[in-house]
Amino acid sequence: MAPKITKDMTFYQILQMSPSVSKVLGKYNLDCGECLGATTESLAQGARAHGLDVEEILVELNNIFEE
């Protein structure tokens, strides 16, 4: 079964899953690998702080594992 990224996961957890994750996050200006909050901030919190649709980001992130 392919891994599944959820909106409650921290950026740190997500970034550990695949190198492609950083490319998707970068597309949304969520360059969170260097952010001090990466270990505690969830994807949902980051998306909300940047005015982004977390569901749209989740679809794209989870598509990484469908390939």
Q: How far apart are CA 24 and CA 67, in angstroms?
A: 14
The H-assigned helical ranges of the chain are: 11-15, 20-27, 43-49, 54-63
**Which DSSP state fits 9?**
S
φ/ψ (deg, to 5) at 29 = 60, 35
Domain 11-66 adopts which CATH fold? SP0561-like (1.10.3910)
The reported pLDDT for the residue numbered 17 is: 93
The pTM for the full model equals 0.86
What is the rounded average pLDDT of the residues 26-36? 79
pLDDT tier at 34 (50, 70, 90 boundaries)?
Answer: low
Each domain of the chain, given as residue ranges in start order, spans: 11-66
